Amino acid sequence: MSDQTKRTNQHISTRMVQANGVIDPQTGGVVPPIQSATTFARNTDYSLISDKHLYSRDDSDLLRLGEEILAKAEHAEAGLLFPSGMAAIAAIMRTVPNRGTIIVQSQIYWGTTKWVRYFCARREIALHEIDCSDLDVLSKAIEAEKPDLVFIETPSNPWLRITDIESAASMSHAAGAKLVVDSTAASPVLSNPLTLGADIVMHSATKSINGHSDVLAGFLATADAQSDIWQSISMDRHDAGAVLGSFEAWLLIRGMRTLPLRMERMCANAMSVAAFLDNHSKVETVLYPGITSHPGHELATKQMNGGYGSLLSFLVKGDAKTALEVCSKLEIFKRATSLGGVESLVEHRHSVEGNATGVPENLIRLSVGIEHIDDLVGDLSEALR
């Protein structure tokens, strides 16, 4: 096997730890250097000193490196980094023409739902929010509405529903629609939607890809870099200027170098937490695809790569007051919005969303971090006592 073949066939964890093997050519440093310049000098004949460096909107070595690492992790032809997950989603939605049609999975991340509702109303785009994890419902909606775009989230947030990506892709393509998958809760380590037929995969890289709650970023990857939708997204990002800064790209690369190891620990912790809650007398229901009673367990096992993620929700027996009391007693789980970081977080979703998406008042969402599992279970045990 040649050296080039060995490099191509490296496992995702090796590629990420090695930052794709990049060495600083000036110093030999094993950490990619930061170039903070926004513009680059030219020669006296006005030719570029470096043909890859004109203006930092696109000409950032760190941006290119981060995109390359993540694109390889997603088995993609190309990838694009954005300054937030919502900026990435907005770039996708702007490809749909006025008076077009979008099918979006219901009861997903509230930020997506809220913005897409506003965007579609403003652009006179027909929006259909349905439970895409129910393939009969999805099939009938696609057949009836003939959408331009189908947008699913799996595992979904905060319900942890699992949607069959391969089936959703087949249905979408039969109707001439593109399928976009928000795979934030899984990360590229646990799920690769493009290999199952999706056209575009989206990540809020703020979450587990960065993993340290200190960077806002979004990422898109495509199976076909020449497709009209990808060309439109690429032009939109460049011309609208929705790019990530050099320092943020450097932090993101720093974070993703430990992504496979962090996901391994977080998945193990989340499974243990789910098992503890599933057997607790004060817990009504646990929403986590790793437990066998979850309706999406078999599908998640089939289409995810050896783990079920760090996100889980549970319904405590009682009402909103009961749920808030449990959250207030937690000490290791920090009361904060987000997921996928090294620290464990807890959130009472109804306090954030209200009645807008039907989140029960007694639902508590957990993002399980990398702390010692005994401390996490002990914290929950005390809070539920």
Catalytic annotation present for 55: no
Q: What is the model's pLDDT at position 8?
A: 58
Residue-wise pLDDT tens digits, 150-173: 999 999 999 999 999 999 999 999
Angle, vertex CA 351, rays to CA 331 and CA 269, nearest 5 = 40
Tell me if 5 is assigned to some domain. Answer: no
Distance CA 69, CA 127 (A): 34
**Residue 268 and residue 123 share a domain:** no
Q: What is the model's pLDDT at position 17?
A: 86
Give me the CATH number covering residue 343: 3.90.1150.10
In the set 15, 72, 161, 207, the catalytic residue is 207
Give me the CATH number covering residue 168: 3.40.640.10
Residue-wise pLDDT tens digits, 176-205: 999 999 999 999 999 999 999 999 999 999
Domain holding 243, by residue range, is 10-256
Number of structural domains in the chain: 2
In the set 59, 164, 182, 199, the catalytic residue is 182
In the set 59, 109, 237, 365, the catalytic residue is 109
- Say whether pLDDT at 365 is over 90: yes
Domain boundary among 236, 256, 276: 256
Catalytic annotation present for 57: yes
Q: What is the model's pLDDT at position 168?
A: 98
What pTM value is reported for the model?
A: 0.94
Q: What is the model's pLDDT at position 3?
A: 43
Residue-wise pLDDT tens digits, 8-32: 577 888 888 888 888 888 888 888 8
Strands, sheet with 126-130, edge to edge from the N-terminal-most edge strand: 78-82, 218-222, 200-204, 178-182, 149-153, 101-105, 126-130
Catalytic annotation present for 182: yes
Split at pLDDT 50, 70, 90, the class of 1 is: very low
In the set 57, 94, 117, 317, the catalytic residue is 57
Catalytic annotation present for 51: no
Domain boundary among 222, 238, 256: 256
Average of pLDDT values for 299-321? 97
**Residue 283 and residue 233 share a domain:** no
Higher confidence at residue 324 or residue 60?
324
Per-residue DSSP letter, 257: T
Q: What is the model's pLDDT at position 7?
A: 54
Distance CA 199, CA 213 (A): 29
Domain boundary among 202, 229, 256: 256
